[in-house]
Amino acid sequence: MDNLHSYINNMFADFPEGPNKENLKYRVLRESEDRYRALQAEGHSDAEALGLVIQELDADEIRRRFDAEESTYRDYATRGFGDNPAADYARKFENKQRVRTILSTMLWPVTTITYLLMGFLGGLWHPGWLIFPIAAVLQRLIFLI
Q: What is the pLDDT of residue 65?
A: 81
55 in Cβ contact with 4 (< 8 Å): no
Same domain, 29 and 95: no
Higher pLDDT, 31 or 78: 31
CA 38 – CA 53 distance, rounded (Å): 10
Question: Of 26, 54, 79, which closes a domain?
Answer: 79
End-to-end CA distance of the chain: 56
Residue 9: give the domain boundaries: 2-79
> What is the per-residue pLDDT across 40-77, written as a single tens digit (0 to 9) for each?
999 989 889 888 888 888 888 888 887 777 776 655 55
- The amino acid present at 69, given as its one-letter code, is E
**What is the mean pLDDT of the segment spanning 108-133?**
93
Same domain, 43 and 110: no
Q: Which of 79, 61, 77 is nearest to 24 (CA)?
A: 61
User: How many structural domains are present in the chain?
Assistant: 2
CA 36 – CA 29 distance, rounded (Å): 10
